[in-house]
Each structure stands twice: as structure tokens, then as C-alpha cells.
Amino acid sequence: MTKRQYRRYPDEFKQEAIALVNEQGYSVVEAAASLGITDKLLYNWVAKHKKANK
């Protein structure tokens, strides 16, 4: 069995992805599809961002 390798994304990439949702009005699903990431991953980033900025 091989161990799963998780991909790491730079903070700048995460911030740009979050900005697509929060500032440019993209849905999470649309933004994730255009960036080639899963919508679950982007939902997590957006939720963490909202929690950190409360």
C-alpha cells in the first residue's frame, strides 16, 4: 500500500481562491472548478478565513 501524498498550496494561491468567492462573487463550486481543486477544499479555506477574521 502506498501512502497518500497531500498537495500543499502556497498561501498566495489560497488567498486568491478565497478572494474569488468573497470579492468577485464566484460560487465555491465555480471557483474550485476553475482552479482545479475540490470544492470541499475551498469550502474549508473560506470557512477558516471567515473564522480567523471575526
Q: Where are the alpha helices (DSSP H) in 1-54?
A: 11-22, 28-35, 39-52
pLDDT in tens, 18-43: 999 999 999 999 999 999 999 999 99
Look up the pTM and report it.
Answer: 0.86
pLDDT at 47 over 80: yes
Alpha-carbon distance of 39 to 17, in angstroms, equals 11
pLDDT of res. 54 = 81
Domain range list for the chain: 11-52
Residue 43, exposed/middle/buried by CB under 10 A (0-12, 13-18, 19+)?
middle
The pLDDT of residue 5: 84
